[in-house]
Structure formats: structure tokens, C-alpha cells
């Protein structure tokens, strides 16, 4: 083993290990990655797979040693495990970064190394509040946020995700689905928002759009089911179909007419209703993508378009540091999803979007994005929720979520419909200032 050794305690959040390891890699001859060994007898989960991923992504080659701890709550066993690796004190320096791992595990490792190596021992931790590497024996701190960078594939990989998918500006799936019509469609929506018509658009989406097109499993895949649904709506005195045909504002007709011919929900100035010649495949092909886009994907695209240029100006790379429609999978775990992701240095910013103005639904989305951002970004992460609520309601929601999750203004923010017009600059201000 080399003369200068960096010891990392590896827990279930490997990001601090990666950040510290990346920064200190060239200063140490050897890395010791200490992790908990899986032990069903004492109900102890193992973190060895995280250690292996760190070794891989830090490109340690032969500069590493793994040290599994058989019982992270037993001080005698930990000392025994450590003694097997450090039988003597013939080292120039032993540096323990104790950001990861359980408190009990870290305490026993720290005490053992300090007692054994005395003045050769150094300790440090990565402060999640201000991204600084803090040394025990020095008042000097080093901000690593702008020094160490990580891309989305590496971030998810060290968290053991195996399948990672997301989209970028030029390869966005709805561009492929709507082809040459996509730019005009999205531009008409953007124009409506810039003309302060976002609230009218949201009201139309709630009724008649969702009343007609959101109504149960396979509604848009079965002609008979869709026509029966339409018939029931026609029998309603306050029919959404009448509202669609007679009360749709002109700017929304402009949006609807921008969709390609084979994807329109309207036939002239009226709702398109399938005739007897239409098959299930014909129905699905015509309406499904259009309904999905109008139901909320348009907001995802609009927001992404607003932030893309500034992110590129700040030297972030699309496909590495930002993207949209992120979905990742790993064995025996739910899928990880974010509407938009952004990584500034090593800070993950998760962005979730909803056109809803209903507090309960927005609150649920808020809980979800806070949890997911922390899940792979740790306490350093930030969550942003964009909603269809007005300003007074977003302030109340932000206060509620901050109280119930322990998040601060620095780590979580809610935007509403009043913010849509300049949402790009507001997001970038939250991220970079």
C-alpha cells in the first residue's frame, strides 16, 4: 500500500465519495473504500456494489483496496477488520473523508484511525450546505461545486442504475411524431404564453379537452369505447363537446390547426368524431400522441426550450448536464424519472411540471420531485416544481412542502402560471445565483 492513503466510507449515497475522490485523486497513492458487507443475520445491507462503481468511475486502476465491514454497529469487529488492513503505522498520511456511511460506522473508523496514526491522521467531510470540503485541522475550506463536475450517466451509474434514457432538443420524440408541424405547434403555444393567455389555455385543457379525451383505460385505443364516451357527453346538458365546438378561443384553434392532418383532434371548427370506417389503430394513430402532448408534454418542451440557450452559454453540455424525459432503471427498484434534469458542477437540479392548479395534485408532484432529486443528488440537490397555480397559492404550497420535507428556499422552489412568461431566466437565476 502507498505512503499516502485516502480512506472513503461508502454508504448508500456515493456522490460525496465520487466528488471527494475526484478532487483528491492525484494527491494520494492509494484509496481505501470501506463499505458494509451484506449480512442477513444482523439485517445489514451491503454497499459493496457502490464501492465497485466508484472504483470504476474514479478510474482507480490498481490504486484501490476494498475493505468490507462484517458488522458496522460492532466496534470490536470494526477494529478487527481495520487492523487486518492497517497492521502497522508505516504510512506518511492517512486521510479519512467521513461523509458517507452510517454514523456508527464512521465514528468507529474515525476513532480507530486517529488513535492508531495520531498526527499522521487527517479527517474531512463534504458540507452539503455550501459544497465545501472541510478539514478537521484547518479553517481553510474548498468549494468543490465548480471544481468537480459529473454527468448524468455517471451520476446514475454510481447509484447502480443500469438502463438510462433521456431526450435532447434535436432528438425529442414528439418532433419525430409531428415532423414538420412541430415547430409551428410549439411556437403557437409559446406565443400564447407570451401573450398572457396561459390561464385561458389551462382552463380549456381542464374543460373541454380533458373531459373529452381523458376518461378511462384504453379510451383512445378502442373506437367503440371512445364513441360510447362521446355519446354520453352529448347527452350531458353542459356538454364538453358543445364547449369544444362553440367556445374554443381563436388562439387555441390556431394551435389545434397547426397539428399535422393525420394527428388533428378537430375537423374544421368542430371536434373530430370517428366514423364507422375508422379502426382501433386509426383512432390511436390520430389522437393518442396529440392528446399526450396537449395534456402536458407541451409544457415540458416549452420550459426546456426556454433554458437551453443559457445552459449552453454557461458551457453545460446537452446530453451530459441537462436533458428531458429522464428515465432510469435498476434491478429490484422502481424506475427513476424526472421531467427535466440539470447538473451544475455536481449539484443535481430536478424539475417537475404540471399544468394543474389543484393544490393536492401539485403537492404530490412536489413531494415526488424533492424525493427524486435527493435520491441521486443527496442533500446538495435542488428541486423545482412548475405548476398552473397563481402566485398566492404557490407561496402557500412552497411553505407547506418546505415544512413537511425539511427543505429550504435554497433547495426547493415552486413556480406558478405567473412565472411562465420568463420561466427560463427564473430557473437559471435559481440555479446559478
Strand 336-344 relative to strand 347-353, pairing: antiparallel
Count CB neighbours of 378 within 10 A. 20
DSSP annotation string for 344-373: ETTEEEEEEE-----HHHHHHHHHHHHHHH
Q: How far apart are CA 156 and CA 323, in angstroms?
A: 14
Residue with cell 378502442: 222
Count CB neighbours of 26 within 10 A. 6
Residue with cell 427535466: 340
Domains identified in the chain and CATH numbers = 3-148 (3.40.50.10770), 173-297 (no CATH), 319-432 (3.40.1350.10)
Residue with cell 360510447: 228
Q: How far apart are CA 58 and CA 76, in angstroms?
A: 31
Asked if residues 323 and 166 have their Cβ atoms less than 8 Å apart, the reply is: yes
- The HSE-up count of residue 84 (CA atoms within 13 Å, CB side) is 12
pLDDT number for residue 409? 66
Q: How far apart are CA 100 and CA 105, in angstroms?
A: 9
**Residue 161 in grid coordinates:** 442504475
Q: How far apart are CA 336 and CA 18, in angstroms?
A: 20
Per-residue pLDDT of the chain (433 residues; tens, 9 = 90+): 568 999 999 999 999 999 999 999 999 999 999 999 888 787 778 899 999 999 999 999 999 999 999 888 889 999 999 999 988 888 999 999 999 988 989 999 999 999 999 999 999 999 998 999 999 988 888 999 989 999 999 999 999 999 999 999 999 999 999 999 999 999 999 999 999 999 999 999 999 999 999 987 889 999 999 999 998 888 776 899 999 999 999 999 999 999 999 999 999 999 999 998 999 999 999 999 999 999 999 999 999 999 999 999 999 999 999 999 999 999 888 999 999 999 999 999 999 999 999 999 999 999 999 999 999 999 999 999 999 999 889 999 998 998 888 876 678 999 999 999 999 999 999 999 8
- Euclidean distance between the first and final Cα of the chain, in Å? 43
Amino acid at each position: 500500500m502507498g505512503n499516502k492513503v485516502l480512506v472513503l466510507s461508502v454508504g448508500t449515497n456515493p456522490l460525496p465519495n465520487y466528488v471527494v475522490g475526484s478532487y483528491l485523486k492525484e494527491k494520494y497513492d492509494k484509496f481505501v473504500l470501506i463499505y458494509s458487507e451484506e449480512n442477513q443475520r444482523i439485517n445489514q445491507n451491503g454497499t459493496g456494489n457502490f464501492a465497485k462503481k466508484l472504483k470504476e468511475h474514479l478510474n482507480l486502476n490498481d490504486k484501490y483496496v476494498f475493505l468490507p465491514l462484517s458488522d458496522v454497529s460492532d466496534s470490536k469487529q470494526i477494529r478487527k477488520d481495520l487492523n487486518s488492513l492497517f497492521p502497522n503505522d508505516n504510512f506518511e498520511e492517512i486521510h479519512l473523508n467521513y461523509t458517507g456511511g452510517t454514523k456508527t460506522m464512521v465514528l468507529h473508523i474515525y476513532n480507530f484511525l486517529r488513535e492508531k496514526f495520531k498526527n499522521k491522521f487527517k479527517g474531512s467531510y463534504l458540507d452539503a450546505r455550501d459544497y465545501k470540503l472541510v478539514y478537521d485541522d484547518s479553517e481553510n475550506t474548498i468549494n468543490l461545486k465548480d471544481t468537480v463536475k459529473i454527468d448524468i450517466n455517471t451520476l446514475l451509474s454510481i447509484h447502480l442504475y443500469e438502463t438510462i434514457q433521456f431526450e435532447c432538443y434535436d432528438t425529442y420524440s414528439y418532433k419525430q411524431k409531428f415532423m414538420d408541424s412541430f415547430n409551428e405547434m410549439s411556437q403557437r403555444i409559446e406565443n400564447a404564453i407570451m401573450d398572457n393567455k396561459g390561464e385561458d389555455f389551462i382552463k380549456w385543457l381542464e374543460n373541454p379537452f380533458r373531459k373529452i379525451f381523458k376518461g378511462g383505460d384504453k379510451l383512445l385505443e378502442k373506437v367503440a369505447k371512445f364513441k360510447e364516451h362521446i355519446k354520453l357527453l352529448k347527452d350531458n346538458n353542459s356538454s364538453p363537446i358543445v364547449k369544444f365546438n362553440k367556445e374554443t378561443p381563436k388562439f387555441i384553434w390556431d394551435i389545434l390547426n397547426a397539428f399535422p392532418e393525420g394527428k388533428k383532434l378537430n375537423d374544421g371548427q368542430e371536434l373530430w368524431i370517428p366514423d364507422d370506417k375508422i379502426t382501433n389503430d386509426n383512432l390511436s394513430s390520430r389522437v393518442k400522441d396529440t392528446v399526450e402532448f396537449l395534456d402536458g408534454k407541451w409544457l415540458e418542451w416549452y420550459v426546456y426550450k426556454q433554458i437551453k440557450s443559457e445552459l449552453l452559454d454557461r458551457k453545460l453540455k446537452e446530453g451530459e448536464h441537462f436533458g428531458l424525459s429522464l428515465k432510469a432503471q435498476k434491478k429490484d427498484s422502481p424506475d427513476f424519472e424526472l421531467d427535466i434534469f440539470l447538473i451544475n458542477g455536481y449539484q443535481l437540479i430536478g424539475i417537475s411540471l404540471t399544468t394543474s392548479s389543484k393544490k393536492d395534485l401539485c403537492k404530490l408532484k412536489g413531494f415526488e420531485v424533492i424525493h427524486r432529486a435527493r435520491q441521486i443528488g443527496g442533500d446538495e440537490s435542488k428541486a423545482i416544481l412548475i405548476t398552473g397555480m397563481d402566485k398566492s397559492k404557490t407561496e402557500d404550497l412552497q411553505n407547506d412542502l418546505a415544512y413537511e420535507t425539511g427543505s429550504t428556499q435554497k433547495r426547493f422552489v415552486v413556480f406558478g402560471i405567473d412565472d411562465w412568461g420568463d420561466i427560463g431566466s427564473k430557473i437559471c437565476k435559481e440555479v446559478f445565483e
